[in-house]
Structure 1
Amino acid sequence: MVVLALVAVLTLLATRDLTQLWWIVLLAVAGLPASMAPEHWLIGPISRMAEVVVLGLAASQVAAVATIGGHIDGLGASAVLPYLAVPVTVTALRRRFREGALLIATVAATLLITGAFTEVGGARQVTQTGYLAVCAQWLILAVLGLYAAQTLHRVMQLRQDTKPQPYAEATRLLTQLRTVARQLPGATLDPGGISEHLLEELRTVARTDRGAVLSASGGGRLVVLAQIGADRVDWETTLDADSAIADAWASQQPQTAARSQSRSHRGGDVSALIVPLVAGVRTVGLVVLEADAAHAYPSPVTAEVTGLTGPAALRLEAALLFDEVRSLATNEERQRLAREIHDGVAQELVMVGYGIDNALATVHEDAEETAESLRTLRQEVTRVITELRLSLFELRSEVDRHGGLAAAIAEYARTVGASGGLRVHLSLDESTARLPAATEAELLRIAQEAVTNARKHAGATNLWVTCEVDPPYAQIEVSDDGHGIGDKRSDGHYGLAIMAERAERIRGRLEIRPRQPSGTTVAVVVGSSPRRDNLRGSAAAAEGE
């Protein structure tokens, strides 16, 4: 209707003759069946064919009248030929490209025939060059539009056919990942182990008083995967800082500097070499080497270092991706279990509790023994519901990307301690640097298991939770003043075995020892603390003297 209105206006401007609007009426009548039944296999094509025939007749007649009126020869055809876009566009949208080509051929033949035989005032005005040129222009535009639509359809179809199905592709990739993981040395993908091995290799080709492997984490910061050196180093972990570390990450090129890349260096001559670990086009980490000497990393040394970091980048990327996939799968499964418990067993137990309450309300006064049994049963159901709610809280607890490990452990200890009537004592010492996400998750689960065991089995009054994080070093201690881990404790070995497996997964050390004068201490240590090692060395030297 919009195009018809436009064509009517153009026809009046070209001919200044109201009688020529009959052609517009005929076009509307010819196209009406196709508009009323667009999906019909016969009515639609016949109606569109009638449209282009009427269009050809109208174009030649309007052109002739416009020529007599003093316009340029053939210009009047431009008044009605824009309507050709309507039937051609409809066939293109319905992917009937052959029908569209037939329509264009039909209107071309109609234009030629009517132009050759239509006379106005005894002269063959419409056979002039201007008319043919105008018709040719509109026909070429129609052909190009139809061809463009057909090409676009083919491209979209090709993309649709070649696009892999998400689940099929995920299955294929995970199957390959499992196969590769089994074939790797040690049948494991450990970012920390790979990073430590790389630092030891680099130490053989370049002087290294301090070194670290850093990787990206959430929040635009870096985490320390491994480090070497005798001194405690607070590495620069902010990517938006003005540092050689940020430059190396952004440029993917090795950077040298005459100053330390740590915020805790005391001064003196320092040479720093920062080499990005690039796998393909993606930066997966950085190697930072520092020596307490000037010009310690000339070009030949830098070349040797980059020769070793190239293959290590691919290994580290595979390990990080494997950790991420495992973490996503684990978190999703924990959330699924939490939902199922909440919507299933927990709700049913609540209903059982309500049923016991109703039964108590109907027990006669002379059935005191029955009432007492029901009250005992109600207490037990309440206890089980409390345990389930704490289990749900544990399943849903995660290390917040902004809050940190210490905050997550503290929140869990306070919540569980309050439910068990424990006085909780917290000692938190966490640096601004972060541990890898997988390491933080495992440490949180170990702390949760230790706190839960103390609440359920220790019979304790106080709970001490100590969290010290100085990446890549971390130590978590959970102590209670209960009756110890002897025969009175019913933990069994299952929870302890789970904690030991988690500690081994992050290359940590799990210690379980008695606490004096009573109770138990569960400690997990990841990495080594140069600061503590130095203190122990000084103490040993003092004892020797």
Structure 2
Amino acid sequence: MEKRDWMKEGWLVPAFGLRVLVFAFTITLGFLSADTSEAMLWGGLLLIASVPGTIAAAHPVFGRLGRLAEVLVIVLGTLSPEGWYGWLLPYLVAPLGGAAMFGGLREDRVRPDSPQNVFARYPGLIEAGVLTVIAAAALGGTAISAGGNLGSPRYAVECATAVCFGVLAAGTGHWLRHLLNAGVPSGSRPYAEATALLTQLRAVTRQLPGGTLDPGGIATDIVHRLRGLSDADRAAVLVAGGGNRLVVLAQSADDRVDWETSLPANAMLADSWADQQAHIGDTSLARSTTGPVSSMVVPLVAERRTVGLALLECDAPDRFTPETAEEVVTGLGAAALRLETALLFDEVRSIATTEERQRLAREIHDGIAQELAMLGYGIDHALAQLPEGADDSGAQLQELRDEVTRLVTELRLSLFELRSEVDRLGGLTTAIADYARTVGASAGLRVHLSLDEGGARLPAATEAELLRIAQEAMTNARKHARAENLWVTCEIDPPYARIEVADDGKGLDGDGGDGRYGLTIMSERAERIRGSLEIRPRKPHGTTVAVLLAASARPGSVSSEAVRE
């Protein structure tokens, strides 16, 4: 059930009816207690002032201005030097009640952690209170300072009564608004809020430089800025990776650096994450660093939340000072907010992708997979019913049965691929190895695994893309290469990664359209995580598919030139 905007739909009709009744009552009092000409004059002014608040009650500008105009007409008419026109006072219930019902900030347009949230908790009451103060101050001040009718006790009592009824109407309007909002099914509110936020995110994403939200690119920019601001020898950006471990999102160094990614293992990391303050020390931030160093940890804080940590190291002791830390913090500016936005967008996209893959797997399993299984059972029954001597028909049915078996096997592998994910504890190499063994067992391939993964992890979205690339490469080898052996190499040292899948099949020359489409998909996935994909022949025959991520993060180890050799 969708959430209906009752302030713009059905509830404007009864609100309009109540305003008409109050206006008719007020005009009747005017004709009974004042001259006809005066009643018509002030009644006409009140009618004109009431138009915006009646037909555009929920409008954030016209509705508010209309209610303010109504209050001003009531006050000016009551304080007119021509005489006391107290018959206008009962109409105060209309603007004050309308302000409580339709005024203020809309609840669904205010973030829960925003400073404006207090206004969203009591929508309209702030506006109704302001209007009440204006009316009470003008009328009360006149009652105290003026003489004649305006200074009489009757005047004060009538004004006080009208203001009290107006306050009562405002309270009733607030109660109705709260009651009606509470009547909306609570389960629909998160969806409406999520829709609004995602719509805004889509619009913002299109306006960003480069048109994308890439955590790796933003982190790389932060690293380059860090080295420029601090003259550090090594720098890295780490973000949360689950539990008390961090993930190396980007780094820059002349040599390979094995950064510490466990918060409990390094007090500087844990303290900086907890107190959101920059810390300077002489303790190494990397397990691979030896000798005296000067180190600094700067938290990346966005909206009072720690998004990640910026790590800097210098081989010269006492290089970093509090002034350096202040310059780094100032120089980073809004980088933390950009990084958090990119990480949130990446997480939303990952969740949506996972949900869609699970949905497709369910559709295939409950649909075509079941129908193919029933078809296979039907062919088996037909084979059993064949008379003796029907060799040709039996051979054709057996060929058809073999083809159905092959299709069922393909579907099972497709389901396994759709459902397979990188386990939070197992790691990327475990997921790739499991899939390689499954493919090898189904296709009769000898699988040779070479796995090298340390304790540090890549970002979850990056691991997912690398897994899909490896799966597609192995699927192509199984379906198109006619290979006998499959070599799978995984080397993970965040932010560096190398995944290589090689076979001894017929190579790329005879590859069909499906295989070519798979190569395009792999290339798009590699580009999405800012990696490089290389597809080359394998000597003496076969194909090698290699994806390389952050090659510069591991100098002297593996480069694209080394891979070609």
Tell me the residue number matched to 1:270.
Answer: 293
Q: How does 1:461-480 map to 2 (within 5 A)?
A: 461-480=484-503
Q: How does 1:166-185 map to 2 (within 5 A)?
A: 166-185=190-209
Instruction: Using the TM superposition, give the Cα deviation of residue 217 of structure 1 relative to its aligned residue in structure 2, in angstroms.
Output: 1.0
- Which one of 242, 264, 280 corresponds to residue 303 of structure 2? 280
Tell me the residue number matched to 2:419.
Answer: 396
Q: Is the aligned partner of 1:520 residue 2:543?
A: yes
How far apart are the structure 1 equivalents of 2:349 and 2:516?
A: 25
Q: Is the aligned partner of 1:363 residue 2:386?
A: yes
Structure with larger Rg:
1
How far apart are the structure 2 equivalents of 1:274 and 1:157?
A: 50
Q: Which runs of 5+ in 2 are unaligned?
A: 1-171
Decide whether the 8 Å contact of 2:280 with 2:321 is kept in 1: no
SS in 1 for 2:270: helix
Tell me the residue number matched to 2:259.
Answer: 235
How far apart are the structure 2 equivalents of 1:481 and 1:241?
A: 45
Decide whether the 8 Å contact of 1:449 with 1:495 is kept in 2: yes
Q: How does 1:360-509 map to 2 (within 5 A)?
A: 360-487=383-510, 491-509=514-532
Tell me the residue number matched to 2:324.
Answer: 301
Q: Is the aligned partner of 1:219 residue 2:243?
A: yes
Decide whether the 8 Å contact of 1:209 with 1:229 is kept in 2: yes
Decide whether the 8 Å contact of 1:458 with 1:489 is kept in 2: no
Decide whether the 8 Å contact of 2:551 with 2:559 is kept in 1: no
How far apart are the structure 2 equivalents of 1:487 and 1:180?
A: 45
SS in 2 for 1:533: coil
How far apart are the structure 1 equivalents of 2:306 and 2:554?
A: 31
- One-letter amino acid of the counterpart of residue 382, structure 1: T
User: Can you list the C-alpha shifts for 1:85-125, whole angstroms capped at 9, x where unaligned?
Assistant: xxxxxxxxxxxxxxxxxxxxxxxxxxxxxxxxxxxxxxxxx
Instruction: Using the TM superposition, give the Cα deviation of residue 303 of structure 1 relative to its aligned residue in structure 2, in angstroms.
Output: 1.0
TM norm structure 1: 0.68
Decide whether the 8 Å contact of 1:243 with 1:261 is kept in 2: no
User: Can you list the C-alpha shifts for 1:463-519, whole angstroms capped at 9, x where unaligned?
Assistant: 000000000000000000011111255644210110000000000000000001110
Decide whether the 8 Å contact of 1:219 with 1:402 is kept in 2: no
- Which one of 167, 190, 207 corresponds to residue 214 of structure 2? 190
- One-letter amino acid of the counterpart of residue 343, structure 2: L
Decide whether the 8 Å contact of 2:266 with 2:285 is kept in 1: no
How far apart are the structure 2 equivalents of 1:181 and 1:461?
A: 47
SS in 1 for 2:422: coil
How far apart are the structure 1 equivalents of 2:510 and 2:481?
A: 11
Decide whether the 8 Å contact of 2:298 with 2:311 is kept in 1: yes
User: Can you list the C-alpha shifts for 1:264-311, whole angstroms capped at 9, x where unaligned?
Assistant: 1121x2111100011112111010011111221112211110012340
Instruction: Using the TM superposition, give the Cα deviation of residue 156 of structure 1 relative to its aligned residue in structure 2, in angstroms.
Output: 7.4
How far apart are the structure 2 equivalents of 1:534 and 1:456?
A: 33
Instruction: Using the TM superposition, give the Cα deviation of residue 440 of structure 1 relative to its aligned residue in structure 2, in angstroms.
Output: 0.2
Decide whether the 8 Å contact of 1:255 with 1:275 is kept in 2: yes
- One-letter amino acid of the counterpart of residue 166, structure 1: P
Decide whether the 8 Å contact of 2:480 with 2:515 is kept in 1: no
User: Can you list the C-alpha shifts for 1:226-284, whole angstroms capped at 9, x where unaligned?
Assistant: 000112111111122242111111111111111211111121x2111100011112111
Decide whether the 8 Å contact of 2:431 with 2:467 is kept in 1: yes
- One-letter amino acid of the counterpart of residue 525, structure 1: L
Higher mean C-alpha displacement, 393-402 vs 236-245: 236-245
Q: Is the aligned partner of 1:333 residue 2:356?
A: yes
- Which one of 228, 251, 254 corresponds to residue 278 of structure 2? 254
TM norm structure 2: 0.66
SS in 2 for 1:165: helix
* CA RMSD of superposed structures (Å): 2.3
Tell me the number of residue pairs that the alignment of Structure 1 and Structure 2 aligns: 388
Instruction: Using the TM superposition, give the Cα deviation of residue 180 of structure 1 relative to its aligned residue in structure 2, in angstroms.
Output: 0.8
How far apart are the structure 1 equivalents of 2:447 and 2:246?
A: 32
Tell me the residue number matched to 2:228.
Answer: 204
How far apart are the structure 1 equivalents of 2:329 and 2:406?
A: 60
Percentage of pairs with the same residue:
65
How far apart are the structure 2 equivalents of 1:201 and 1:415?
A: 45
User: Can you list the C-alpha shifts for 1:34-85, whole angstroms capped at 9, x where unaligned?
Assistant: xxxxxxxxxxxxxxxxxxxxxxxxxxxxxxxxxxxxxxxxxxxxxxxxxxxx
Q: How does 1:20-99 map to 2 (within 5 A)?
A: none
How far apart are the structure 2 equivalents of 1:449 and 1:536?
A: 23
SS in 1 for 2:312: strand
- Which one of 329, 332, 338 corresponds to residue 315 of structure 1? 338
Instruction: Using the TM superposition, give the Cα deviation of residue 534 of structure 1 relative to its aligned residue in structure 2, in angstroms.
Output: 6.6
- One-letter amino acid of the counterpart of residue 377, structure 1: L
Decide whether the 8 Å contact of 2:229 with 2:331 is kept in 1: no
Decide whether the 8 Å contact of 2:272 with 2:278 is kept in 1: yes
CA pair 468-289 structure 1, distance change in 2 beyond 3 A: same
How far apart are the structure 2 equivalents of 1:204 and 1:283?
A: 23
- One-letter amino acid of the counterpart of residue 525, structure 2: R
Instruction: Using the TM superposition, give the Cα deviation of residue 371 of structure 1 relative to its aligned residue in structure 2, in angstroms.
Output: 1.1
Decide whether the 8 Å contact of 2:254 with 2:555 is kept in 1: no
SS in 1 for 2:377: helix
Instruction: Using the TM superposition, give the Cα deviation of residue 333 of structure 1 relative to its aligned residue in structure 2, in angstroms.
Output: 0.2
User: Can you list the C-alpha shifts for 1:407-428, whole angstroms capped at 9, x where unaligned?
Assistant: 0000000011110000000000
- Which one of 156, 160, 172 corresponds to residue 182 of structure 2? 160
Tell me the residue number matched to 1:55.
Answer: none
Decide whether the 8 Å contact of 2:248 with 2:494 is kept in 1: yes
Decide whether the 8 Å contact of 1:464 with 1:479 is kept in 2: yes
How far apart are the structure 1 equivalents of 2:298 and 2:351?
A: 29
How far apart are the structure 1 equivalents of 2:365 and 2:558?
A: 49
SS in 2 for 1:205: helix
How far apart are the structure 1 equivalents of 2:296 and 2:268?
A: 9
Instruction: Using the TM superposition, give the Cα deviation of residue 520 of structure 1 relative to its aligned residue in structure 2, in angstroms.
Output: 0.3
SS in 2 for 1:327: helix
- Which one of 239, 244, 247 corresponds to residue 268 of structure 2? 244
- One-letter amino acid of the counterpart of residue 330, structure 1: T
How far apart are the structure 2 equivalents of 1:412 and 1:308?
A: 45
Instruction: Using the TM superposition, give the Cα deviation of residue 383 of structure 1 relative to its aligned residue in structure 2, in angstroms.
Output: 0.3
- One-letter amino acid of the counterpart of residue 257, structure 1: G
SS in 2 for 1:204: helix
How far apart are the structure 1 equivalents of 2:552 and 2:494?
A: 9
Decide whether the 8 Å contact of 1:202 with 1:305 is kept in 2: yes
How far apart are the structure 2 equivalents of 1:229 and 1:421?
A: 44
User: Can you list the C-alpha shifts for 1:331-361, whole angstroms capped at 9, x where unaligned?
Assistant: 0000000001001100010000000111111
